[in-house]
Amino acid sequence: MIESTDSSRAVAEVAAAVESVPTEAIDRAARLIVEAEKVAAYAGGREGLVMKGLIMRLFHAGIDAHAVGEMTVPHFGMGDLVILSCGPGQISMVMAIADTAKKAGAKILYLTAEPDIEPADRADEVIVIDAQTMARDNGSDAVLPMGSAYEIGMFVLVDLITRRVRGRRGHTAEQMRARHTNLE
């Protein structure tokens, strides 16, 4: 059985990650998404799972959204937005996608816990999630291992961003639900 103190500490670690992002940053992210012609997102590992969840929710919100690496991702350039996440920063695949997006003229929204590490310098907007990642987990007394607080906090934040997107587009929960697949 999990000790209640561990549960409370884990919830507190995630809450601190979510609350570290100012409302204005969530609003700016939603604005970038709504203004984009197309949106693509990428992150590696568990962050990648969160990004795929974001793409799914943006699709439900009526956004032309794609997960980088899927066969149906169209050409991206001017007027488009690429959303990247790399909690610890400087992961080669994220840096390569950032370079390609920038060269093509797409805007970049970047989520990270390390805003002073590449490829944050390539982004048009950086959202800093103040949470433990593998970049700073040595000697930590956190309950959640490695980058879990970042990843779980990020999951909550992308749903908050999607909620703002839905509000900016004037869509109801019923309209989102109507876009959900019926093939499952």
Give the single-character DSSP code of 116. T
Segments of the chain assigned E as strands = 39-42, 65-67, 81-85, 107-112, 125-128
Q: Give tens-digit pLDDT for 66-120.
A: 999 999 999 999 999 999 999 988 899 999 999 999 999 999 999 999 999 999 9
Respond yes or no: is residue 174 known to be catalytic: no
What six digits make up the tokens of 40?
Answer: 């693509």
Question: What is the reported pLDDT for 160?
Answer: 97
Q: Which of 17-31, 50-64, 77-91, 142-156 has the lowest mean pLDDT?
A: 142-156
Which run of H or of E encompasses 21? none
Q: Which residue has the higher pLDDT, 65 or 171?
A: 65
Q: Is the dihedral of CA 49, 99, 116, 26 positive or negative?
A: negative
Question: What is the reported pLDDT for 13?
Answer: 84
Question: What is the reported pLDDT for 165?
Answer: 97
Domain boundaries, the chain: 4-178
Residue 6: which residues within 8 A CB-CB, separation 6 or more?
143
State the catalytic residue, choosing from 19, 118, 151, 174: 151
Q: Give tens-digit pLDDT for 135-180.
A: 676 666 766 667 788 999 999 999 999 999 999 999 888 988 888 8
- Other CB atoms within a 10 A radius of the CB of residue 53 amount to 17
Instruction: State which fold the 4-178 domain adopts.
Output: Rossmann fold (3.40.50)
